[in-house]
Structure formats: structure tokens, C-alpha cells
């Protein structure tokens, strides 16, 4: 009987970790752009108040997390085109992206809107597997 954890050794961890941290960097850049535009562009703060109202806040956070997950798969496909993506690689990508967001949220940055919570983890999971649905059967 083979050990299912044995295949963890053979995953492309460096590529997945770099993809996770690149995604976290893009999230940070997006947060900075959002904060600066809310301060200096008229009307953006009002739109953000509406989007982050108690009625829509859960949907907006899930959509942000979904976008983070799809961005990670897109980055993995474009930057590492020779990488064979399987369901195991997608699971490892989810782990790497969540860990990268966790590291980003622990750093003393001036802008830190996206932190690790249940909605973020579920949204990243759905986003990664929605974008990577053609790789499920490999």
C-alpha cells in the first residue's frame, strides 16, 4: 500500500510558494491603490461605503477572496506554463496562497485590509478550483 503523503515531496513547492507570495504582493498593491483612490478620487469612498455596508460586506469579501484564488491559478498558468497542474497541485496552491496572505497580514504594513479568516479561505478555495477546474481529473 502506497503512502499518500509521499507525493507531497514531489510537488513543485518553490513554484507554488513564489506564486502564493506574488499573489499576496498583488493583493497588497491592490489594497494600496484602493486606499489612495479612496482618499484622493472623489466618489470612491462613497462607493466603498456602500460595498462594505453590513448588507453586502460578506458578499464583497467572498468576491475578493474568489478573485485572489483565480488570480493565483492564472499566475501559475502564465508564469509556469510547463508545470503539470493536478488536483494535488491546486490543493498545495491553496495552502501556499493562504500562508502568503497570513504572512502579509502579520507584517507591520500601513495597509492591511485582507486578513486570513473563514470567508477568505473558502473564497480562495472556490476561486482556485473554479479557475483550475480543467485540471481536476489529471
Q: Give 103-116 as a DSSP string.
A: HHHHS--S------
Contact 76, 17 (CB under 8 A): no
Contact 69, 126 (CB under 8 A): yes
Local confidence band at 138 (pLDDT 50, 70, 90 cut-offs): low
Q: What per-residue string of b and e applies to 25-58 under the rule 16 or more CB within 10 Å gives b?
A: eebbebbeeeeeeeeeeeeeeeeeeeeeeeeeee
- Per-residue pLDDT, averaged over 130-135, amounts to 94
Tens-place pLDDT, residues 47-83: 999 999 999 999 999 999 999 999 999 999 999 999 9
User: Residue 6 pLDDT more than 80?
Assistant: no
Contact 89, 20 (CB under 8 A): no
Q: Is the pTM of this model over 0.95?
A: no
Amino acid at each position: 500500500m502506497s503512502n499518500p503523503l509521499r507525493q507531497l515531496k514531489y510537488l513543485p513547492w518553490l513554484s507554488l510558494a513564489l506564486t502564493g507570495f506574488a499573489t499576496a504582493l498583488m493583493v497588497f498593491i491592490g489594497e494600496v491603490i484602493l486606499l489612495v483612490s479612496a482618499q484622493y478620487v472623489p466618489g470612491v469612498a462613497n462607493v466603498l461605503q456602500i460595498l462594505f455596508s453590513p448588507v453586502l460586506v460578506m458578499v464583497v469579501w467572498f468576491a475578493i477572496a474568489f478573485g485572489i484564488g483565480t488570480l493565483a491559478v492564472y499566475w501559475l498558468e502564465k508564469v509556469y506554463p510547463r508545470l503539470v497542474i493536478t488536483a494535488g497541485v491546486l490543493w498545495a496552491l491553496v495552502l501556499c496562497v493562504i500562508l502568503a496572505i497570513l504572512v502579509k497580514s502579520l507584517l507591520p504594513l500601513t495597509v492591511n485590509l485582507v486578513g486570513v479568516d473563514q470567508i477568505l479561505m473558502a473564497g480562495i478555495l472556490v476561486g482556485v478550483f473554479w479557475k483550475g477546474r480543467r485540471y481536476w481529473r489529471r
